[in-house]
A and B are shown apart, each in its own frame.
Chain A
Amino acid sequence: MRVTARIGVVSFPGSLDDRDAQRAVRLAGGRPVALWHADADLHGVDAVVLPGGFSYGDYLRAGALARFSPVMGTVIEQAGRGLPVLGICNGFQVLCEAGLLPGALTRNAHLHFVNRDQRLRVESTASAWTAGFAEGQAVVVPVKNGEGNYVAATAVLDELEGEGRVVARYLGSNPNGSARDIAGIRNAAGNVVGIMPHPEHAVEELTGPGTDGLVFFTSVLSTLVAA
């Protein structure tokens, strides 16, 4: 067993929060590994974070072009074998475009870009990235997006809720019009999680609203040690 888990953070052209995600991994006790969109090799990392930003300028649709990058071919393949993958904001959009998570993220219902500290309720702890929370725990994590409105067919929403795959819901006012106040979801196996708010921006008191976001990263480290 490795002493320190290695968590890859992918940089796409237009990624903004890749350095913040690397820093969050470090603060959680992991070793961040920078991964490059054009390199299909994951360099033996134990988990992957797809960070926030505007990959490929959000051209066509947010995440639509990033989904076809060489690194994503390997991420999709490895995610199918259980590799923990966390998509944050733009990373969530990429996961939906890639078909690793159902549904899509569309323009905020009110058209405004939202940037604020957001209260969330953690709904599912049955994932690699949320195992360290208590079910129903209220947390504060910054949200900043223009296209965070989660949509899916009613049957898909019912299935997500029925299987406990809604990972987090917005508390208080819904920042983007997301269906059923959904802030994040997971796949059936629980290794792939997509979340619109930014846990990597809530990892220390000095620079964020608190340290609730750190739990996403300590959760995956604990999951990896237990595996």
Chain B
Amino acid sequence: MPAYEVVVDVMLKPEILDPAGQAVVNALPTLGLAPVSDLRIGKHVEITVEAADEDAALAEGTRMAQVLLANPVIEDFRVRLG
């Protein structure tokens, strides 16, 4: 079976506080960089998976995100081909 690169991006849900992102927001102006009104930090996961076709590869990535890569209580995820 061919190999596909699948990308899963995991972000904290909008209503969940992202203290690490807030710390970076506060740090940027002190470094002389433009003030930003918002910044959120998430996880970017690159997966190489063997699958029958692109749809099957995306379905595998979605399953991985649902079971392990994201916690649905606090996180949303998006799956795409790399």
Contacts and interface: CB of A to CB of B under 8 A. Distances in A.
Interface of A: 60-61, 64, 68, 96-97, 102-104, 106-111, 149, 151-153, 177
Q: In which size bucket is the chain B interface?
A: 10 to 19
A107 B19 contact: yes
Interface in B4-28: 12, 16-17, 19-20, 23
A104 B73 contact: yes
Q: Is the interface of A mostly helix, strand, loop or mixed?
A: loop
B69 interface: yes
Nearest to A112: B19
B68 A106 contact: no
Contacts of A64: 68, 71
B52 interface: no
Contacts of B39: none
Contacts of A96: 73
Given A111-B23, A151-B74, A106 B17 contact: yes
Nearest to B12: A106
A84 to B, nearest CB: 24
Contacts of A60: 68-69
A177 B17 contact: yes
A151 B69 contact: no
Given A64-B68, A68-B68, A111 B73 contact: no
